[in-house]
Amino acid sequence: MQKAASLKDVARLAGVSTATVTRVLHNNGYVGEETRARVTSALKETGYQLNVVAQSLRKQQTRTLGHLLNTITRNPFFAEVALGLEEQALQHGCNVFIYNVQASAERERLGVETFIRRRTDGIVFTSPVDPANVELAAKAGIPVVQVDWLARVDHNAVLVDNEVGAIEAMEHLFALGHQRIGFIGADPARFRHSADARPSVAEQRLSAYRKSLAAMGIAADEALVQIRPYYYSLDERDAAEGYAGMRELLTLEQRPTAVFATCDILAAGALQAVHDAGLRVPDDISVIGFDDTYAARLSPPLTTVALPMREIGERAADLVFRHMPPPSDAASEPDIVTLPSRLAIRGSTAAPVSQ
């Protein structure tokens, strides 16, 4: 409960000046053998712990990152990103401030202002809500990194190529022999930010589905495309949408032999629908998911497009540090890193029964 010792206290105890204590602490400059010993023992005795607040003020650097998380309640994807970010920040001696934005542009703005006032050395936006807020941070001179999605290419970003991932998923199904492939996904319109913004994740996955079919010369059948209202709530609501989507597909006169769901929760709901219809996965119908949230790793195991979540966070941290002043060399140009996804083949996909 005694207030913490300051440099001055240590200096007094050791009978030296504060400058000498600093020199011992950081092991630079000249310090006599005997003096060093006295200071060291004084440090021990007082239980001195550096005051990082004072240090930050003096050095004009807080060794702190701000992480704006667009949680949309519980999203394991983002939690994993946060972990990677924190891990990597630690490597650089930085700590991370968490700020849950909850899909609100207003809260996101508050978060940015908080971080500006706290003089964080960088800000990471995981799924930015409003591009204007990214701009706000950048204008304050703080290095900014966007994760998962970006509206424009003016700033650093760590992305996943959703299109490639989706195409690989489709090609996996093609390779197994599927031709009639259903789609269950979120409504892209709900996630469009502005007319000139880059396509949303939902849009990318849907368009990749269409492109894949076209590339295979398979005629598009809109009856196979189930666009569902929810996305990213990641609980029973979304599972229910996946369930409903699959139900629709199963009632088709000529039902699909495989279904591509744009996220694991939708896929999980879809699996249940198959099961409840008295059919079996993957014998009667294959299901493939996206994201590799651990919903995919439970039972039954789901084939899915795995995103390197941890690594995304790590790379985001790296980008921040590359752009911290003084900007390392040419680091004034925005860096855009795109990481590959990986197809995790589990038990929910197999060759179709020949008809």
Whichever of 158 and 295 has its CB closer to a copy of itself, that residue is: 295
Q: How far apart are CA 148 and CA 165, in angstroms?
A: 14
Element (H, E) at 258: strand 258-261
Whichever of 29 and 347 has its CB closer to DNA, that residue is: 29
Binding at 272: pick from a copy of itself, DNA, none (beta carbon under 5-8 Å per type): a copy of itself
Identified binder of DNA from the candidate list 12, 22, 110, 221, rule CB under 7 A: 22
Identified binder of a copy of itself from the candidate list 19, 37, 57, 175, rule CB under 8 A: 57
Question: Cβ of residue 99: shortest distance to a copy of itself, in angstroms?
Answer: 7
Identified binder of a copy of itself from the candidate list 6, 35, 114, 179, rule CB under 8 A: 114
Please count the other Cβ atoms lying within 10 Å of the Cβ belonging to residue 53.
9
Q: Cα–Cα distances in Å, from 161 out to 40, 69, 156, 204, 282?
A: 53, 20, 15, 9, 27
- Residue pair 68/99 in contact (Cβ under 8 Å)? The answer is yes
Q: How far apart are CA 231 and CA 242, in angstroms?
A: 10
Q: Cα–Cα distances in Å, from 127 out to 81, 114, 122, 274?
A: 11, 18, 16, 32
φ, ψ of residue 228 in degrees (nearest 5)? -110, 150
Structure tokens at 273: 């629908």
Whichever of 225 and 344 has its CB closer to a copy of itself, that residue is: 344
Q: Which part of the chain contacts a copy of itself (CB under 8 A), choosing from 26-34, 185-193, 208-216, 289-297?
A: 289-297
Q: Does 251 bind a copy of itself (CB under 8 A)?
A: no
Identified binder of a copy of itself from the candidate list 25, 140, 225, 279, rule CB under 8 A: 140
Question: Cβ of residue 10: shortest distance to DNA, in angstroms?
Answer: 7
Identified binder of DNA from the candidate list 44, 57, 236, 275, rule CB under 7 A: 57
Q: Does 34 bind DNA (CB under 7 A)?
A: yes
Q: Does 55 bind DNA (CB under 7 A)?
A: yes
Q: Cα–Cα distances in Å, from 175 out to 34, 53, 351?
A: 75, 58, 8
Whichever of 32 and 47 has its CB closer to a copy of itself, that residue is: 47
Whichever of 96 and 288 has its CB closer to a copy of itself, that residue is: 96
Binding site for a copy of itself (CB under 8 A): 1-4, 49-54, 56-57, 62, 67, 71, 73-74, 76, 79-80, 82-83, 86-87, 95-100, 113-114, 116-119, 140-141, 234-236, 239, 243, 265, 268-269, 271-272, 275, 294-295, 297-301
Binding site for DNA (CB under 7 A): 3-4, 6-8, 15-20, 22-23, 25-26, 29-36, 48, 50-51, 54-55, 57-60
